[in-house]
Amino acid sequence: MKLITTLFSALIFVAPVAMADDGGRGLEIAKDRKARDTGWGTSEAEMTMILRNSQGEESQRKMRLKNLEVLDDGDKGLTIFDEPKDVSGTAFLSFSHIDKPDDQWLYLPALKRVKRISSRNKSGPFMGSEFAYEDMGSFEPEKYEFTYLRDEPCAESMTCHVIESDPTDKFSGYTRQITWLDTEHLRPVKTEYYDRKNTLLKTLTMSEWKVYKEQYWRADRLEMKNHQNGKSTTLLSHNITFDTELTDADFSQAALKRAR
């Protein structure tokens, strides 16, 4: 799954900026992370979204995710909701970019129309989950300023690089993110998100990793916990496949309306 990893990929190249106090090491690690996840092409997955309220009550949604890698720009993603009935047919299209805000659209079958997600609204919740719309694009180093903080032990007896990433988008809902990347494969095992007041807002943990095509790592389980409202969202990936017959035409607004 490529969500923000995926959750989860330009016509003008804007060079990323490294914070001066780490000698550029944070940027170097981020660029290495991106390079290791380049060349996968296309992928599809079935997913389950589990929503939990502050009392621990759960509801589930079934969906499918399609991804297309784009050279020299961010990736394209299409998410189609199948269950329950009240969200069936809802579809989300995302064009990630490396040098400008992502383009995102949501198709609402009840209204039979496509709604564009404004750059100013990217910090809003994605389909009622604890993931924001801005979490749904591919990881593009050009959108952040990086600072290497330290190496330390982390999940599953691994050692992790700890990197601070400061979004350059003025409409981001975050002031900074702190990410733990395992030193062997540079997989993001945990990320803390700090809100516009620089207070810890959410923590994302990624686990149950599998490797595909002997190179590309994907986490089958993503858990986003909101520390301020007590809610959480789990994304479970099933049946991830690569080298599917997807083309650019499968990621258009017209295709969004036809998605089933």
Residue 107 lies in a domain: yes
The rounded percent of the chain whose pLDDT value lies above 70 is 92
Residue 17 lies in a domain: no
Instruction: Say which range, 59-63, 153-157, 179-183, 212-216, has the weakest mean pLDDT.
Output: 153-157
Residue 202 lies in a domain: yes
pTM of the model: 0.89
Beta bridge partners of 125: 132
- pLDDT greater at residue 54 or residue 100: 54
- pLDDT greater at residue 242 or residue 121: 242
Q: Which residues contact 211 (CB under 8 A, 6 or more apart)?
A: 217, 218
Residue 199 lies in a domain: yes
Count structural domains, the chain. 1
For residue 10, what pLDDT band results from cuts at 50, 70 and 90? very low
Instruction: Annotate 148-179 with DSSP letters as a single string.
Output: EEEEEEEGGGEEEEEEEEEE--TT-S-SEEEE
Q: Which two tokens stand for residue 142?
A: 């050009």
Please give the distance of CA 106 from its chain centroid, rounded to a whole number: 16
Predicted local confidence at residue 253, as pLDDT: 86
Residue 10 lies in a domain: no
Residue 5 lies in a domain: no
Per residue in 157-202, pLDDT tens?
899 999 999 999 999 999 999 999 999 999 999 999 999 999 999 9
Predicted local confidence at residue 169, as pLDDT: 92
Q: What is the CATH number of the domain that holds 161?
A: 2.50.20.10
In single-letter form, the type of residue at position 155 comes to A
Per residue in 218-232, pLDDT tens?
999 999 999 999 999
User: Does the pLDDT value for residue 15 go beyond 60?
Assistant: no
Residue 7 lies in a domain: no
Q: Which residues contact 20 (CB under 8 A, 6 or more apart)?
A: none
Predicted local confidence at residue 156, as pLDDT: 80
- pLDDT greater at residue 61 or residue 155: 61
Average per-residue pLDDT in the chain?
90
Per residue in 117-132, pLDDT tens?
998 889 999 999 999 9
For residue 88, what pLDDT band results from cuts at 50, 70 and 90? very high
Q: Range of 146's domain?
A: 25-258
Predicted local confidence at residue 254, as pLDDT: 85
For residue 21, what pLDDT band results from cuts at 50, 70 and 90? low
Q: Which residues contact 170 (CB under 8 A, 6 or more apart)?
A: none
Residue 108 lies in a domain: yes
Average pLDDT over residues 132-140: 94
